[in-house]
Amino acid sequence: MSSRSAILERLRATAGGGPLPTLNPAVMERRHWSAPERVVRLRKGMEAVHTEFLEAKPATWPDVVRTFCESEGLKNLLLGPTSEAGGALAATWAPGGTQLVAYDRPVEAFKTELFTSIEAGFTGTVGGIAETGGLLLMPGPQEPRLLSLVPPIHLALLRAATIQDSFWSAVQALGWTRSLPPNALMISGPSKTADIEQTLAYGVHGPKRLVVVLVDDLT
Across the range 101-117, mean pLDDT stands at 94
Q: How many domains does the chain have?
A: 1
The span from the CA of 5 to the CA of 27, in Å, is 40
User: Is there a domain that residue 202 lies in?
Assistant: yes
Angle between helices 84-92 and 61-71 (to 10 degrees): 70
- Looking at residue 94, the DSSP 8-state letter turns out to be P
User: Is there a domain that residue 120 lies in?
Assistant: yes
Q: Where are the alpha helices (DSSP H) in the chain?
A: 3-13, 25-28, 35-47, 61-71, 84-92, 111-116, 146-149, 167-173
Predicted confidence (pLDDT) at residue 107 exceeds the cutoff of 80:
yes
Predicted confidence (pLDDT) at residue 167 exceeds the cutoff of 60:
yes
User: Is there a domain that residue 207 lies in?
Assistant: yes
User: Is there a domain that residue 20 lies in?
Assistant: no
pLDDT at 178: 85
Tell me the pTM.
Answer: 0.85
Q: Give just the sign of the alpha carbon dihedral 103, 111, 154, 144.
A: positive
Host domain of residue 59: 31-215
Structure confidence at residue 149 as a pLDDT band (50, 70, 90): very high
Give per-residue pLDDT as tens, 173-192. Answer: 999 888 888 889 999 999 88
The span from the CA of 173 to the CA of 156, in Å, is 20
Predicted confidence (pLDDT) at residue 172 exceeds the cutoff of 80:
yes
pLDDT at 19: 57
pLDDT at 25: 57
Give per-residue pLDDT as tens, 2-45. Answer: 788 887 777 777 655 555 555 555 555 567 899 999 999 999 99
Structure confidence at residue 66 as a pLDDT band (50, 70, 90): very high
User: Is there a domain that residue 135 lies in?
Assistant: yes
User: Is there a domain that residue 2 lies in?
Assistant: no
Arithmetic mean of pLDDT over the chain: 90
The span from the CA of 118 to the CA of 171, in Å, is 33
Which is more confident, 194 or 214? 214
User: Is there a domain that residue 3 lies in?
Assistant: no
The span from the CA of 47 to the CA of 52, in Å, is 6
User: Is there a domain that residue 17 lies in?
Assistant: no
CATH code of the domain in which 190 resides? 3.40.50.10420
